[in-house]
Structure 1
């Protein structure tokens, strides 16, 4: 098996259209795929001519999120800063189907791609047979880990004939695979920490620090806004009350737990002991002029975060916000 050259375009086009229908692609399009350095089009020949072809497209963030209907934050979380490929198609000649040719070619192609160490994820359409995705074994042998499965009928072609499925492609899932190395990078993200003076003018620097971490893990925009509001409330309380008329430090620790897909943000100060969770929630059913003063901010934090924890340890207040990134 080798990478395709310009002279392979005609044969690849003919074989692909034979499998998926005449309208699937054109020789001009295949030539364009071959000429793009980021794409990977592999071909295998035997004594009868072209035996099979496999195409992986390198696509940028905009194309991946638009063409494959992937949420931008999900795409960022999956690729983890690496370049990504989209498994466009795998085809073999009719007389070679069921003889292991496709598996052999995919094994070799994925092995070659992983050796390049620049691609962190592959997006692949897949068939599901009796609840199992056969292609998954091939990816796992090559050192890829299934990160997420999107189960749904994937392709519906109009005005196209398909010799495999009679006009409707059987691919009914999109699976996002990541290399083992990428998985380890995300699983082992270290805790990040920022120390600032507990002064209101440092709120901007604190939010910038946290938003950088949230963007790195692909945090959804709605969740990021909720976290920003909660962080502002907690930090302002520290600046106003923790040290009285004195000044002191505030430490913020950020931890992303990959398995649970959640973030934990801890606020640490050495001010007077205070557990905000003990404060009684305001009665929001009352008119504003009848409610007791204070408590609404921490109440809103409780409502938007998935968990809040407080402890007094080593003469320090430690308040931790917990937020899931996905439902």
Structure 2
């Protein structure tokens, strides 16, 4: 495809429902956006099976010691970096396990460098720089589907045997790609024609939320709906850790605080110690035996059937 001729792409078309955008009152404009944004949820529902496959493939790779990389340019790249940056505090992952790669590097996070997306060789170079292997997962994100930087990265990742996932807001008929999981988030033309930071950006954020959270759930970093691997690195997260312990154990805040400190500020380990009576070292070993999965560790000592 000639990337200089993209007017036919779904993301570049004019939205007939916003043809008079510049004539709307502020309230009418808000209502229009609200109606259009409702299409985002429907688009996610249409790719539920693809998202589930992406979660399964990613969880299996990370379980085997692999890493997850998001690759994109502009808004798509920033969304990938954002999702990756949230994984360490939320799930206590290492910064290396989930990473965002954006065309132009960190400078492109705060200043537009759109011209850098046109170099497929730069995408391939980024894959080489991060020493991607067949254990890793590479997610290429491009709203319009044609970004050379992303395609270059995906091609290089496939050559190295990595699992590849494609996220775009155009159909496969408009832009085809060879990947392991192909996710098409079809939200239709933007309210402001071509401005993919709008619906396309919103639906991409939702898809990445689902992918990373679903993966971490499968990796045992969640108990019930609690983030039991939360990194206790500030007052807010310390308070959240205490509340999780109080809610799940019935302990007072003072008791929960003591338990948290005794566990080395590890909520998951604190819960295991409380429910089994194990000391920290034994609890650590038991969790390691079950790949960090709290519920499996509890069930192995016949405690799980009596817990929240």
TM-score of the aligned structures, taking structure 2 as reference length: 0.30
- If asked which structure has higher relative contact order (CA below 8 Å, sep 6+), I would say 2
Higher normalized helix content (fraction of residues): 2
Higher normalized strand content (fraction of residues): 1
